[in-house]
Amino acid sequence: MKKSKIIPIKTERPKLECINIPAAKPEPPKLGRVCFEFVKPGAKRVCVAGSFNDWKPDLSPLKPQENGRWVADLTIKPGRYEYLFVVDGQWMPDPNAKETVENPFGGRNSIVGV
């Protein structure tokens, strides 16, 4: 029987070049402004609570104006949100809202789009 020869095979690793690719900078979320207005002469405190602020009225108080008018300009991310006004502790829909939806408590939530 013939003895076989082992012939080494030369292999070279391909040369890898590192290139620096700048990371894409995330764009800041676009924000929209919404003006909430509620009229209630004699009200002591008016806030707005909704899905845009985790239903926390203290995060979005309205400022009193003349003639029982209350206003707040909020900056929120684009989307469709449900909300209610909280007037002296009482939750109520926006009487000027163009759209409302039924809520789980048997009432109606107002809708705003940004």
pTM (two decimals): 0.73
Could you tell me the pLDDT band of residue 29, with boundaries at 50, 70 and 90? Answer: low
Show the tokens assigned to 87: 């007037």
Show the tokens assigned to 34: 């919404």
Average pLDDT of 11-29? 66
Q: Report the percentage of the chain scoring pLDDT > 70.
A: 75
pLDDT value, residue 50: 97
pLDDT value, residue 39: 97
Please give the C-alpha separations between residue 22 and each of 18, 26, 90, 96, in angstroms, as whole numbers: 13, 12, 53, 49
Q: Report the Cα–Cα distance between both ends of the chain, in Å, rounded.
A: 87
8 Å CB contact between 97 and 103: no
- CA angle in degrees (0–180, nearest 5) for 69-73-77: 145
Q: Is the pLDDT of residue 22 over 80?
A: no
Distance CA 112, CA 58 (A): 19
8 Å CB contact between 64 and 70: yes
Please give the C-alpha separations between residue 114 and each of 14, 16, 89, in angstroms, as whole numbers: 54, 49, 26
Please give the C-alpha separations between residue 54 and each of 25, 44, 57, 95, in angstroms, as whole numbers: 28, 23, 9, 21
Domains of the chain from N-terminus onward: 32-113 (2.60.40.10)
Q: Is the pLDDT of residue 73 over 90?
A: yes
